Amino acid sequence: MAKNQSATANASVFETPTYPTNCLYFLQDHMQVRIPPSPNRKSQLLDIVIVGAGLGGLATAIALAQSGHRVKVYEQASVLGEVGAGIQIPSNSMRLLAELGLEPYLKDHATEPKAIYFRRWQNGKTIGMTKLIPEFRQTYNAPYYVIHRADFHSALHKRALDVGVEIKLGSRAVSYNADTSTITFENGSVVTADLIVAADGVKSLARKVVLGGHDKVPQKTGFAAYRSTVKVERMQQDPELDSLLTEPALNIWVGDGRHVMTYKIGAGKTFNLVLSHPDNSDPREWDQSKALDEMRAEFRGWDTKLTKVINLIDKTIKWPLLSGSKLDQWVSERLVLLGDAAHAMVPYMSQGAAMAVEDGVALAHSLSKVHDSRDISKALSIYQSVRTIRSSQMQEASLLNGQLWHFPDGPLQEARDLAMYPETVSRPFVHSPNQWSDPTTQLWCYGYDTKKAVEEEWEKRIANGF
Ligand X SMILES: Cc1cc2nc3c(=O)[nH]c(=O)nc-3n(C[C@H](O)[C@H](O)[C@H](O)COP(=O)(O)OP(=O)(O)OC[C@H]3O[C@@H](n4cnc5c(N)ncnc54)[C@H](O)[C@@H]3O)c2cc1C
Residues that bind ligand X (CB under 6 A): 51-57, 74-77, 87-88, 172-173, 199-202, 205, 225, 227, 274, 319, 339-340, 347, 350-354, 356
> Residue 132 to residues 135, 169, 354: CA-CA distances in angstroms?
5, 38, 17
Question: What single-letter amino acid sits at 444?
Answer: W
Q: How far is the CB of 144 from ligand X (least distance, A)?
A: 11
| Least Å from the CB of residue 266 to ligand X | 15
Q: CB-wise, 46 or 225, nearer to ligand X?
A: 225
For ligand X, give the closer residue by CB, 81 or 439.
81
- In whole angstroms, the minimum distance from the beta carbon of 18 to ligand X comes to 39
C-alpha–C-alpha distance, residues 18 and 268, integer Å: 56
349-376 residues labelled b (16+ CB within 10 A) or e (exposed):
bbbbbbbbbbbbbbbbbbbbbbeeeeeb
Minimal distance in Å, beta carbon 7 to ligand X? 58
Q: Which of 250, 304, 295, 262 is nearest to 277 (CA)?
A: 295
Do you find a cis peptide bond into 422, omega within 30 degrees of 0? no
The whole-angstrom separation of Cα 392 and Cα 388 is 6
Residue 251 Cβ, how far from ligand X at the closest point, in Å? Answer: 14
Of 11 and 80, the one with the shorter C-beta distance to ligand X is 80
As a whole number of angstroms, the distance between CA 429 and CA 423 comes to: 7
Q: Closer to ligand X by CB, 270 or 413: give it.
A: 270
In the complex with ligand X, which residue's Cβ is closer, 128 or 324? Answer: 324
Give the shortest CB-338-to-ligand X separation in angstroms: 7
Grouping H, G, I as helix, E, B as strand and the rest as coil, residue 251 is: strand
Identify the H or E element spanning 313.
none
Alpha-carbon span 290 to 299, nearest angstrom: 15
Rounded Cα gap, residues 211 and 344, in angstroms: 16
Query: 19, 30, 14, 76: which is closest to 51 by C-alpha?
Result: 76
Name which of 124 and 201 has its Cβ closer to ligand X: 201
- Which CB, 250 or 453, lies closer to ligand X? 250
CB of residue 424 vs ligand X: minimum separation in angstroms?
A: 23
Nearest CB to ligand X, comparing residues 266 and 339: 339
Q: CA-to-CA distance for 136 and 139, rounded, in angstroms?
A: 5
CA–CA dist 388, 240 (Å, integer): 46
Question: CB of residue 351 vs ligand X: minimum separation in angstroms?
Answer: 5
CA torsion sign for 216, 217, 221, 225 is positive
